[in-house]
Every structure is written in structure tokens, then in C-alpha cells.
Amino acid sequence: MAKPEKHIFVCNHRRPEDDPKGCCLARGGKEIRDAFAEEFEARGLWGRFKLNTTSCLGACEHSPGAVIYPEGVMYGNLTPENVTQIIDEHLLGGEAIDALKVPPDVWE
């Protein structure tokens, strides 16, 4: 396995249902992970990009979130539609999407 061009870590942290912080898993983190996987599969992108789920990334107010390395860009409030945009513009196009990033006080 060659080192991937980009490594995507989608938060799938789970908290108890009554926890006021909520969690990425309750707010669609699994669907975000699955959206990346489905597009990677459909477009033949496995190998170029690696996908993992992670424990809490610490941007709970902007869940569901994900961080992409090696550049270390963190996105928040993700929807499956955002995933398509991230693949097109960031992973394939090489340009991170400022409008989807978490605020600089969360991750600068």
C-alpha cells in the first residue's frame, strides 16, 4: 500500500444520547464516512485516498467534522453534498474549501 495522497479522518465519536454536547455520530458522522466511501468506490479513487473514522476531533460544535492530511484542514457541519464538493475541489482539485472549514478559533 503506497502512502495515500490524502488521508481523510471522519469523526465518528459517540456520546450518550443525553449528553448536551452531542456527538458526530449522532449528527451524521457515519453518513459522511459512507458518502466518502461510496464516491471513492464509484470513481475508482481507493489507493489515492485513504479513509478512516476517528475518536473526537474536538470540534463538537461543528459536527459532523473531518480532518484531511497532510495539509491538516478541518471541515465541519458536513453534509453528503459537501463530500462531493470536497472530493472534486480539494482532493482532486487541490484547493481546500474555506467556506466549509471550522472557524479559526477551533482549528487555525
Which spans of this chain sit near its own copies (rule: CB under 8 A)?
1-3, 7, 9, 12, 50, 52-59, 67, 69-72, 74, 105-108
Nearer to its own copies, 49 or 81 (CB): 49
Nearer to its own copies, 60 or 86 (CB): 60
Which residue bears the cell 459512507?
A: 34
Question: What letter represents residue 66's amino acid?
Answer: A
Nearer to its own copies, 10 or 83 (CB): 10
Q: Shortest approach of its own copies to residue 36 CB, angstroms? A: 12
Nearer to its own copies, 73 or 78 (CB): 73
Q: How many CB atoms lie within 10 A of CB 33?
A: 24
SS3 85: helix
Contact 29, 12 (CB under 8 A): yes
Q: Shortest approach of its own copies to residue 55 CB, angstroms? A: 5
Q: Shortest approach of its own copies to residue 11 CB, angstroms? A: 9
All 3 cell numbers of residue 23? Answer: 456527538
Q: How far apart are CA 54 and CA 25, in angstroms?
A: 10
Q: Shortest approach of its own copies to residue 93 CB, angstroms? A: 20
